[in-house]
Structure 1
């Protein structure tokens, strides 16, 4: 079955959608929507370094995404404007990655697949990496869910309960960097942030508990993955952007349904 490239694409997209849902929820609650973009853009520098050194791209993207995540989190906690820091870090990291690639002529042809995704070229090895990352992220989130949730809702209450909000933030950064590393082949660095935020934003009007929002966000992400791949296959459009467009359409539908329900109440 795994010899079928479309089957591999479907499994890869579903894996990334499931991994992105809990992190997207936490980012939305913490008002860190742009944090994913900054981390994902930084991963391009890791891709360039990995291609230059002929090493594993996933490890290069993961290492640089971790460095960026911790750097931004540290600066944001020292009185700097968080939104300004994120904007500077995001654009600077992307530009630096693109400049770095210019020094690696053999990497230029591969760069577009990491910017916009190349899910139809996912191999069995890529699939193993993606689902291995999904398993690690799922175990990490399940282990720290209550602590992450409490430190997100009320850092003071978390401290009173013996939970270090800074530590939980670092755990979230590690999980986010891992999502970026495994998703970069699926939707590309420029669209990972959208896949983290859009499905949970679509689920938000209908969720009454954090766990319900997580489950609905995962469901929307999976539907967007399947719908985007179907649209890409039918209309001959790029697969990664098509997945994000499908998620945006679901978001528009849920927002419209929510507004209609409120007007009738």
Structure 2
């Protein structure tokens, strides 16, 4: 895939930018606060529809444009994939209608001039990004690692983003029901539907993440072995909240070079095991009022 043209309108500090990009390596050079990072942010936004730099989409609209009742930031890119040429466009829209003084934000995504759901377009345009703060993937919380995997896998597995969205919706509904059962009691069998949804979509996520981490390990271990002259062994392992591997009591006693392999489990095996685990934890989670 090659990015050939980028157009920005009211994005960050750019009121307007049109730039053709040649093949090969491109180096951005300029003084501070001139928009180098914003340019990279725009490109990455086309791949993931989220910003690595902003906590809210409203921060992406040029501050002068954002003063208007209706403000629109726009990113358009022409790119080639194989022998095909495509155009992707994202419109970040700040609407005049507000709730509690906060203006409503929404996104429109177009692929080759046709409006599509973001979940349908993600993966058409690919980008890989590394920033110093991405060391948080290693040093930070599990949430940082999940976010990294989600952004990467959504670009390469067509159904991943949709499965993640459905999982999060099911989790939200299940937590609301658990809280209701905790506060008002009721029929615990109401959880059956949401348990099935969480197990179904959760299994898709776990299955994809296990294989992704295995591939990352294969690539990273090779480089690490070269850097350490084969004196060290690098192991990466994805351990989900529901782990399909049988759990032994106490600490695992494994040599450092022993691989922990979860790749032998099928998606259906993970789903069944996940569903069974939810059933075993049901009354404990009702007592907590939240999914653990």
Report the TM range for the smaller structure's normalisation.
under 0.3
**TM-score scaled by length of structure 2:** 0.25
Of structures 1 and 2, the one scoring higher in RCO (CA 8 A, sep 6+) is: 1
More strand by share: 2
What TM-score, normalized to structure 1? 0.26
